[in-house]
């Protein structure tokens, strides 16, 4: 799908690019976070109890991860815009389909296919940014995009709660479809094709496999891909179990949106700070320091976790852990993408898929291990942080806090 020449702008500034890429990624976030307050109602209405309600989130995560293997190859052949068009249409159609289901299994199936079909929305933005810039400037732009993007999970639970109270849980899917139409229209009118003609790749299985192998088996990249999958897998674990943890264990269900938003606010502040300092200190130095803080905060959470843990103990440590992800996410992703200018789509696809599949499976496992306390979550966060550190040491050949790109003047 390509717009008429007159509909494509000659230039797209960095500010509009950042907002537009953030909104694309926000479609995925809204489809997850707006659902959180409604999980109990969905379970009651469709006959799903206990931890099974978490599959409404987990199925979408898993579908997005599996589907992410494919959009990059098509984006490297046909361009970024057509792949985005397919993803947005899928998002809209299956949001509407989810409003029509009458049993829990059908909803889970719809959510899985929705995640599968719109996985390009999480793959293509990084490729578009890599088409334009590289080095620490890419890390800065990705951090700014993440900061804008995180405004959605900050407010999505509250929006979901309001829609749930006024119209019921099915109306949340209607809101998803409307948001998809708005973002799709913006893409159609304003986003030019960013793939350079000389970087177009043939759709051939050997070529696709070769590009994906290059993206995943590069020693300098693989540690950052696996490391981010582990760290964000623990985040997915919190998202999966957050409604039960906050509502049941801490008895603060009425304030769920406020507490969830407070935790996410740390990520917003961290991404803003990262965008200001990453070009000065370098993506490696900033993200390596953040990983050590993540491990320390997770260890403190593990010590504090238990049946008698209070909300005031849990939330600050969680907010600190999530804040470190603001320094880890954009920087790890940009470092992992640096070697792959000519195959940015395939690299983004392969790396995003590994992160999403691993993260969704890990997150579902953490969520299903919920035992009425925060200990399974804290244990997973600490363990994932340590393994991520080992992987980064592997990629960096044992040398942390290096700077490979010169500081801009």
Query: Across all residues in the chain, what is the average pLDDT?
Result: 85
pLDDT over 90 for what percent of the chain?
31
pLDDT of residue 123: 80
- The pLDDT tens digits for 65-117 are 888 878 877 888 888 899 999 999 999 999 999 999 999 999 999 999 999 99
**pLDDT band with cut points at 50, 70 and 90 for residue 5:** very low
pLDDT at 385: 94
The arithmetic mean of pLDDT across residues 224-242, rounded, is 86
What is the full DSSP assignment across 115-148? Answer: HHHTTHHHHHHHHHHHHH--HHHHHHHHHHHHHH
Per-residue pLDDT, 7 = 45
Tell me the average pLDDT across 3-16: 59
Most confident region among 69-73, 198-202, 254-258, 387-391 by mean pLDDT: 387-391
Task: Identify the band that residue 261 occupies on the pLDDT scale cut at 50, 70 and 90.
Answer: confident
Q: Answer whether residue 365 shows pLDDT above 60.
A: yes
């390596």: which residue's tokens? 288
pTM: predicted TM-score of the whole model, two decimal places = 0.74
Task: Read off the pLDDT of residues 159-178 as tens digits, 9 standing for 90 and up.
Answer: 999 999 999 999 999 999 99
User: Residue 126 pLDDT more than 60?
Assistant: yes
Domains and CATH numbers, the chain: 13-189+203-395 (1.20.1250.20)
How far, CA to CA in Å, does 40 sit from each of 179, 249, 251, 253? 24, 15, 14, 11
pLDDT digit string, tens, across residues 330-340: 789 888 887 77
CA distance 140 to 17: 13
What the block records as the tokens of 352 is 């995003």
Distances, alpha carbon 263 to alpha carbons 298, 316, 325, 368, 395, in Å: 14, 8, 11, 21, 30
**Which candidate, 383, 329, 9, 6, places its Cα nearest to that of 191?**
9
Task: Give the separation between CA 365 and CA 332, rounded to whole angstroms.
Answer: 24
């Amino acid at each position: 799908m390509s717009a008429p020449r007159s509909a494509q702008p000659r230039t797209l500034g960095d500010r509009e690019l950042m907002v537009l890429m953030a909104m694309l990624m926000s479609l995925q976030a809204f489809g997850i976070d707006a659902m959180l307050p409604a999980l109990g109602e969905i379970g009651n209405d469709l006959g799903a109890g206990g931890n099974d309600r978490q599959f409404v989130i987990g199925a979408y995560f898993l579908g997005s991860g599996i589907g992410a293997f494919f959009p990059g190859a098509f984006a490297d052949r046909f361009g970024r815009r057509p792949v985005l068009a397919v993803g947005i249409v899928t998002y809209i159609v299956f949001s509407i389909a989810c409003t029509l289901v009458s049993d829990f299994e059908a909803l889970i199936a719809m959510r899985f296919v929705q995640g599968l079909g719109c996985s390009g929305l999480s793959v293509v933005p990084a490729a578009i940014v890599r088409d334009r810039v590289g080095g620490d400037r890419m890390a800065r732009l990705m951090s700014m995009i993440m900061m804008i993007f995180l405004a959605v999970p900050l407010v999505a639970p509250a929006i979901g709660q309001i829609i749930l109270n006024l119209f019921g849980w099915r109306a949340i899917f209607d809101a998803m479809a409307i948001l998809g139409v708005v973002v799709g229209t913006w893409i159609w009118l304003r986003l030019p094709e960013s793939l350079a003609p000389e970087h177009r790749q043939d759709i051939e299985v050997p070529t696709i496999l070769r590009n994906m192998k290059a993206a995943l088996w590069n020693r300098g990249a693989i540690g950052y891909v696996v490391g981010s999958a582990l760290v964000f897998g623990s985040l997915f674990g919190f998202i999966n179990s957050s409604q039960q943890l906050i509502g049941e264990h801490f008895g603060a269900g009425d304030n769920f949106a406020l507490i969830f938003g407070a935790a996410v606010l740390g990520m917003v502040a961290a991404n803003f700070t990262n965008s200001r300092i990453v070009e000065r200190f370098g993506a490696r130095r900033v993200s390596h320091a953040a990983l050590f803080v993540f491990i320390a905060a997770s260890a403190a959470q593990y010590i504090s976790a238990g049946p008698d843990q209070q909300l005031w103990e849990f939330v600050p440590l969680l907010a600190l852990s999530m804040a470190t992800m603001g320094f880890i996410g954009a920087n790890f992703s940009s470092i992992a993408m640096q070697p792959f200018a000519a195959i940015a789509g395939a690299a983004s696809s392969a790396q995003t898929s590994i992160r999403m599949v691993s993260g969704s499976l890990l997150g579902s496992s953490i969520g299903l291990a919920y035992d009425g306390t925060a200990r399974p979550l804290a244990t997973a966060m600490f363990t994932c942080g340590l393994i991520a550190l080992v992987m980064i040491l592997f990629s960096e050949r044992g040398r942390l806090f290096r700077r490979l790109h010169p500081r801009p003047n």
